[in-house]
Amino acid sequence: MSNQRNGKENMDGSSNENVLPVRILLVDDEARNLEVLESILTSPDYELYRAQTAEGALLELVQKEFACIVLDIQMPEMNGIELARMIKTRKRSQHIPIIFLTAYFQDEKDVLQGYGVGAVDYLTKPLNPAVLKSKVGVFVDLFRATRALTAANAALKSEVRERQQLEALVLKISEREQQRIGQDLHDGLCQHLTGIKFRCRLLEEKLARRKVEEAMDAHEIEELLSVAVELARNQAHGLSPLHLEREGLVAAFHELAAGISRVFGVRCSCSSAARVLIPDHEVAIHLYRIAQEAISNAIKHGKAKTVQLHLAESDDEIRLTVQDDGRGLRTNGEHHAGMGLAIMNYRARTIGAKLELEAREQGGTTVSCSLPRGLVPMAELA
């Protein structure tokens, strides 16, 4: 374990001892791999903890609080997917973001399985140090912001307005980071993978002209790269909906539905009134995230096979509706959406909208978000 408790240095050179390092758990059965991870992530801001077995990792998680986990998929006895599933079943550790490490390309099914058990990203070995540090840094920043918000809520129970400002700030930081990561994926990784894919095609053609048997290997590599490009592009669009800025909310919803259908294999459709316009970008992004969260809950918690997204307007309101055919609301009084429902409610309140959940008679759930039309500039809707 690397344990450095130096406080951050202020602009005048003094040390701020109140800023404590956060813990990061590194899990890999190979000691040399752990040494590489430590050499990349060593910082006064982090306390790095090692675990070479699943049991060792679970023991650390019982005893300590971590900002994120860097987890190798290939582990003896219990692999990384199984360990991640156990981590997510424990209340103390279920919200910790997990970055998977793998030494080989993952099949699309394996990748989706990893995301299904709580992975937030995949990195392949050999690691790019800058990428790893950047991704870990994002989760550390979000962890600190969340921890600061929790402390602020305890201290400011009677000061509702200030608490809401802090919540809005955390949400804004999260949104900005999501868009930045999505843009980086789209402009960087996707373009890079596409370039490699075309190089493989050229190589395949050269080998085929020479009647070399390895031409088929080059073709298979090209197909794998196509899958990788599609996965990266879907992740980028989910984090940073490009159509929202270029073509508006309706186009972004259609793209969202198409992406959900491709990635999760469910029937996700979108319908809308052609003239529904949301010129305010902040309002549009909140509605988009509400729809995204509702669809995610329907698939993850409700096990839905069909999801319908609809955007409409009347004289009084603009209404977003997400219907699914899943298991519906729980009967024990708990909401099936968990923290996602709280975030959707907060987003709705932020823009002056009303969020409602209703169990459908034929099974499944209807999530509705109603925005008074008076809160949207009338001239833009005419």
| Per-residue pLDDT reduced to its tens digit, 243-300 | 566 567 888 888 888 888 887 889 999 998 766 778 787 888 889 889 988 998 898 8
pTM for this structure?
A: 0.43
Element spanning 27, H or E: strand 22-27
**Nearest alpha carbon to residue 174 among 286, 255, 64:** 286
- Residue 154: enclosing H or E segment and its boundaries? helix 129-155
Mean local confidence (pLDDT), 322-326: 92
- Give the other-Cβ count within 10 Å of 320's Cβ: 25
pLDDT of 105 strictly over 60: no
Query: Residue 261: CB partners within 8 Å, gap ≥ 6?
Result: 267, 268
CB 173 within 8 A of CB 143: no
Scan for tokens 């005048």, then name that residue.
Answer: 12
Per-residue model confidence as pLDDT tens digits over 177-210:
666 666 656 566 666 667 777 777 788 788 888 8
- Please tell me the predicted confidence (pLDDT) of residue 325: 92
* Residue 375, CA atoms < 13 Å, CB-side half-sphere: 17
